[in-house]
Structure 1
Amino acid sequence: MIQPALIKRQRFILCLLFLLIIVTMVVGMGLGYASLSYDRLLPAILGKGTFKEEFILFSIRLPRIIITLLAGMSLALSGAILQGITRNDLADPGIIGINSGAGVAIAIFFLFFPVQAGSFIYLLPVIAFIGAFLTAFLIYVFSYKKNEGIQPVRLILIGVGFSMALSGIMIVLISSAERAKVDFIAKWLAGNIWGTDWPFIWALLPWLVILVPFTFYKANRLNILGLSEQVAIGVGIYVEKERILLLITAVALAASAVAVTGGIAFVGLMAPHIAKALVGPRNQLFIPVALFIGGWLLLLADTIGRNLAAPDGIPAGTMVAIIGAPYFLYLLLKK
């Protein structure tokens, strides 16, 4: 049974994070290469602004903000699941190579299978999922031992090895590509939020609508899997079945996010850790908090990054890495 005090604390933190997200969204709407006066935001939202104001808000700023928020939530939830099923606090879809697998699949698809622009947007998450799933499957196979299960240290090392190998494959792919296509892939690798239009939101949203409730449904199984295999087997859980199902969920969440935002790491590492520090390790409590933290972190990183260096700004993936890399080293030394 969850203590009422913890539930109350969780609700307070969720409200606080919701306010932070709203404030960051409002700030992000006004800032940019073409500034929008804050006293004109509400009229523009209500459809009473000028053509320029409504174009900046609804065609440029708002889609990017929503995409960034949803992608941050997806990456945070993916990281939380990976840390739970591997019992490894350093697990993150960007660090262990899942994002790189998605990136290679997208690069191959983009370079060698030209399709119409409309269908390309909706195919991206599917292609990214295929690449990420194949990578995750290989990492899982190489880090698993029959009598001991998943080896956390082996998983991290093998994941980093796969990430480096896939980065090499990416370099080979883009070395002979056209300049315009190379520019796109380079932006993707840097974590530059490139999916900034409403169709990208409709391409990402169904994955979240299905997978977030499913993860909440499996929260108690994640609690048990986080203890040990012996305990999980003792309470009657089919460990491998549950672990593979949750791994596919984590891969799908990460792939759908990076398909429209690029190669962003560390959000899935930091958000679950911060959430656990705030409300404890029970998945029912910290997963909602991690969702909000992940969305806010990526939104904040993108808002700061795109306004630091005009006109193109600094990619959100780079801004997150500036914060996340030291945090990863801290966790590595601590563990």
Structure 2
Amino acid sequence: MDLIRKTDKKPLLIMGLLAGLIVLLFFISLNTGYIRISPLDVMKTLAGRGEANDQLVLFEFRLPRMVIALLIGAGLAVSGAILQGVSQNGLADPGILGINSGAGLAVILFIFYFQGSTASLGTFSIYMLPLAALSGGLLAALLIYVLAWKRGVTPVRLILVGIGVNAAFSAALIIFQLKMNPNDFMQATVWLSGSIWGTNWKYVLAVLPWIVILIPYAILKARYLNVLNLGDPVAVGLGAAVEKERRTLLFLAVALAGACVAVGGGIAFLGLVAPHLARRIVGPKHQVLLPAAALMGSLLLLAADTIGRNVLSPSEIPVGLVVSALGAPYFIYLLIKVN
């Protein structure tokens, strides 16, 4: 009995450690950047007793993008964990499978036809972006599922079809980018590579409801992911409505990925790496895997944003490129290991 209790406490301790690392990195990130602010001045500013310049830098520039990084990191990580559980495929990821590119294409089409400029999005349009991204992500998921179906969906077919759909949507993205004026083209290119530069509190409010509602709901559905991993015959034998729960979980994964893409662009590999790292430290049980993956995703994306802001300061590296540089070797390792 004592051994069981100790085993149950281990994931909680690990998640507490991850949360502590996030808090520590959060304050380090607040101090660093092109304009450096000492830890004491950061504390004074957060307490409302800082100088006007420090308040401007922290509250209008750094804090919004850091909160966005935490939200997007959690959303993409949970989306990837759900996709890996539903497909029973350790290589599944919303970026690799084409869901991110489908959501990105929908956002570009929304901007191209209804706004005319990526720099002139109004408040209402910012809140509409996640809905546009959701429609594109759902279209990509539907195409993947239909094309991969052949007396069932095998992990290998899912990955291959997903890569093909991703390539098709990426080509369509380039076509519409070429129709933009040069300034909008450059902004769209940076955004699609994965960038949280230029975000403000409106973007935080746009993505926040999606994250705080969908992630807890996904955790409530975690037991179905555990059952699905046993295989469809066993899941049916245990009384689970397999197809209904699979569709619900896929919708949650696509909605999370779409909302994150709408604000942060195409950040690839995060949804692949974060669940794998979380699985290594807390185990495969999805009740603890999903929250651990959310914390791991937030930690990784916040770290990537901090690196991107400081390595070539005053220039910035899009956070998506930093994540890809770290995640691509891990993806190749997993691909070799799986095969």
TM range (shorter): over 0.9
Task: Give the Cα–Cα distance (whole angstroms) in 1 for the partners of residues 40 and 47 of structure 2.
Answer: 13
Q: Return the alpha-carbon distance in structure 2 between the equivalents of residues 195 and 80 of structure 1.
A: 28
Q: 1:246 offset after TM fit, Å?
A: 0.5
Deviations 1:157-211 (A, max 9, x none): 0000111111111111111211222122101121111352111111111111211
Question: CA shift at 1:145, angstroms?
Answer: 2.9
Overall identity of the aligned pairs, in %: 47
Q: Could you say which residue in structure 1 is the equivalent of 2:204?
A: 201
Task: Tell me how far 1:286 sits from its aligned partner.
Answer: 1.4
TM-score (norm 2): 0.95
The residue matched to 1:3 in structure 2 has which SS?
helix
After TM superposition, list the pairs within 5 Å mapping 1:65-144 onto structure 2.
65-114=66-115, 117-144=122-149
User: TM-score under structure 1 normalisation?
Assistant: 0.97
Correspondence for 1:248: 251
- Relative to structure 1, the CA distance from residue 105 to residue 217 in structure 2 (aligned partners, 3 Å threshold; closer, same or farther) is same
CA displacement at 1:116 relative to structure 2: 5.3
Aligned-partner SS, 1:150: coil
Letter in 2 for 1:199: K
Number of aligned pairs?
Answer: 333
CA displacement at 1:137 relative to structure 2:
0.8
Asked if 1:307 corresponds to 2:310, the answer is yes
Corresponding position of 1:19: 20
2:294 is matched by which residue type in structure 1? L
Contact 1:77/1:287 (CA < 8 Å) preserved in 2? yes
Matched, 1:225 2:228: yes
CA distance in 1, matches of 2:311, 2:142: 39
Q: 2:288 aligns with which of 271, 282, 285?
A: 285
Letter in 2 for 1:38: P
Aligned partner letter, 1:125: P
Cα-to-partner distance string for 1:83-120 (whole Å, 9 max, x where unaligned): 00000000000111000001111111111111851111
In structure 2, the partner of 1:156 is 159
Moved more, 242-251 or 304-313: 304-313
- The 1:143/1:5 distance shift into structure 2, 3 A limit, reads farther
1:7 deviation in Å?
Answer: 2.1
Amino acid at match of 1:16: L
Q: How far off its partner does 1:21 sit?
A: 0.5
The one-letter code of the counterpart of 1:33 is Y
Q: Distance in 1 between the 2:133 and 2:157 partners? A: 24
- The structural deviation recorded for 1:266 is 0.9
- Does the CA contact (< 8 Å) of 2:194 and 2:321 recur in 1? yes
CA distance in 1, matches of 2:7, 2:128: 41
Distance 1:14 1:306 in 2: 27
Deviation >4 Å, runs of 4+: none
